[in-house]
Structure 1
Amino acid sequence: MAGLIERFETKTGFDQGMTAWDAGRKRSFQFEFLGALHDRRERSIANLAAGDKEDQTFARWIKARGFSESDWAKIRSAPVWEPQPGAAFLRPMDVPDEALALRLAEAIDMETRLAVPQTTLWTRAKLIGENRPGTIWGELRRSWAQFRSFNLTASHLWGEEAVLRGQGAGMTPLVGTAAYIAPIVFALTIGGAMSIQLRMLAMGNDPKPTDDHRFWMAALLQGGGMGLLTDAIYAAEARNGKASQADAFGPGGQMVGDAYDATLGNVGEVAEGMRTGDDMGEAVEGANIGRDASKVVRRWTPGQNIWWARAAWNRAVMDQLQRIIDPEAEEDFERRAKRLQRDGQSQWWPEGEPLPERAPALAEPE
């Protein structure tokens, strides 16, 4: 079962384009770095330190990673790799000293992790500890940690880098961190805003109004890896319609909550209806059996969150299924649409409609 789930996750990442995007970012950064090594191979660390701002930054990086002048001399004496004319690189694998080559490869890998954050052993140790997979507590911790690993990884890597750069420039840790983090926070906020708007389009909604201070608060959280909290600013539900309380425990907690609502939760509602005087038919009709059942299918069908098919899946398939099995489907669609309207949004593919009504409204109304 674990292998099957892993294959589903891998296939979903591939279909979304995330696998290729992530690999491409890492590969392009590493080649850019190897090219920077080549471009400076004729110069010593002292010469780089006396150069322009970019060369000075590179010299500080070499020193910060523990490379001496003699180490750098050995590295820059390595053979040049030129796969195509004009594209020359200096690779760690070409450095004759094996120990030095490994140190250089490790340093480049660390820079890659800063440019393209990915879970580190430090993050896993902090979030999961010594809890083994397959145990109840181990699986609970892994579910809880799933949506928190990026935020902790990025905060740790960038915070550590900010302190080191500040010290290298003669600043105190607090001043150095503030000077380094401020432009990053600005860039991440802009990226978070783009992420929110693109997600709205994928859900069949028009973009959120950007003249609302709540939008920029949500963008700041989204850019910092705290996407679970972004829509909590707007409402009591999290970004993908899941209850914020359940999202706090990760996908495992959400699955348990959905399963409970569709089974024991509805049993309790039916029992409560009969206790207050309804007959069996009225009590069953008063429960949300159809809606909860469609919700389980909507949320837990593999691939349902693929961005380029999400709106079509929800509107053309799942909304139609809900309309069949949920007597109050129309009221539910109208309630969700009104919630968006209160926040100044409309829908280019309205709730419950099998086909889109129009193209997305990308320009804000005047």
Structure 2
Amino acid sequence: MIRAAPLVEAGGARFFDPANVSDRSFGEKLMEAILQERAFAVLEPDARVRQLTSGGVPRGTFWGEVARSFWLFKSFSVTMATTHLARTSIDATPGKVASFAAMSTLLTVAGAMSIQARQIITGKDPRRMDDLRFWGAAYMQAGGAGLFGDFLQAGLDRNMKGLAITMAGPVFGLAVDVARLAIPDYRKIMDGQPSHYGAEVLRFIRGNLPGSNLWYSRLVTDRAIIDNVQALLDPGFWDSFARIENKAQQEYGQRFWWRPGHEPDRAPVLGTALPR
């Protein structure tokens, strides 16, 4: 029946269209299977995930918006659990253990590649891959929970926020940041003492400026504009960067190939990722 369906021509190529199957019911089932497999390939929240993350509370209500704020940017992990993990635990072939091991291994490798790419595009050399902490972070990254791997190591996320603020959602985190900026240390400012208020304002603008986190332009924007402006506003900027650089060296054996406030003097050393 599928082979008998007429093909659709477009751009000099011919494609199969389930709508052209003679049996409409069979064509709809086939299209449903295609959409389901697409949802596995490119994870997207379905009705089950939306029920879990919103509790069925409608949009526009107070508790509905609170629930959606809490689960914002967290639905990916839930979707992973309701798709691939559920398939592995229910109808895995050839076996559940073998399927889960294969999936975990491949996802961990993908997570490792993601971590190393993020190091390079933030101006650092790759992390050493003979460190168990690296593979633990890669495993967390693979399941869409890379953010929570930061808490296992430092108790703070990559934006220097605690677990409670991060779990409450980005809307609550934004409110906390605004409240913190609304109550600056006026006494230090009036007395002419060193204050980091200007740097905090710039960091807030940078974190909420649309387009500032684009992976292909973020590093150039940070080094060419943000770092230089922050160096003018924050007297302790260079000292804070020295602490960050020392921490990266001590904990991960990393160095910056493009240091803040400087021009790059070399390319990333990819060999730092290999065991010594």
The answer to whether TM tops 0.5 is yes
Matching residue's letter, 2:148: L
| Residue 31 of structure 2 corresponds to residue 121 of structure 1 | no
Stretch moving more, 185-194 or 109-118: 109-118
Aligned partners of 1:159 and 1:121: how far apart in 2?
Answer: 17
Note the C-alpha offset of 1:148: 1.3
1:131-280 → structure 2 map (5 Å cutoff): 131-166=57-92, 176-239=95-158, 241-245=159-163, 246-264=165-183, 266-267=184-185, 270=186, 280=190
The answer to whether the 8 Å contact 2:8/2:15 transfers is yes
Unaligned residue ranges in structure 1 (runs of 5+): 1-73, 170-175, 274-278
Aligned partners of 2:48 and 2:11: how far apart in 1?
Answer: 39
- What SS does the corresponding residue of 1:363 show, helix, strand or coil? helix
Residue of structure 2 equivalent to 1:352: 261
TM-score, normalised with respect to structure 1: 0.68
Aligned partners of 1:179 and 1:103: how far apart in 2?
Answer: 30
Residue of structure 2 equivalent to 1:281: 191
Matching residue's letter, 1:238: D
The answer to whether the 8 Å contact 2:119/2:126 transfers is yes
The answer to whether the 8 Å contact 1:218/1:229 transfers is no
The answer to whether the 8 Å contact 2:124/2:256 transfers is yes
Note the C-alpha offset of 1:163: 3.9
Relative contact order, higher structure (CA 8 A, sep 6+)? 2
Matching residue's letter, 1:317: I
Aligned partners of 1:147 and 1:242: how far apart in 2?
Answer: 17
- Could you list the per-position Cα deviations for residues 44-102 of structure 1 after superposition, in whole angstroms to 9, with x for gaps in the alignment? xxxxxxxxxxxxxxxxxxxxxxxxxxxxxx344323456688x7654311111222211
Higher fraction of helix: 1
Residue of structure 1 equivalent to 2:221: 313
Among 90, 103, 127, which residue is 2:29 paired with?
103
Among 315, 318, 324, which residue is 2:232 paired with?
324
Aligned partners of 2:3 and 2:242: how far apart in 1?
Answer: 66
RMSD (CA atoms)? 2.4
The answer to whether the 8 Å contact 1:337/1:346 transfers is yes
The answer to whether the 8 Å contact 1:188/1:224 transfers is yes
Aligned partners of 1:141 and 1:109: how far apart in 2?
Answer: 28
Residue of structure 1 equivalent to 2:17: 91
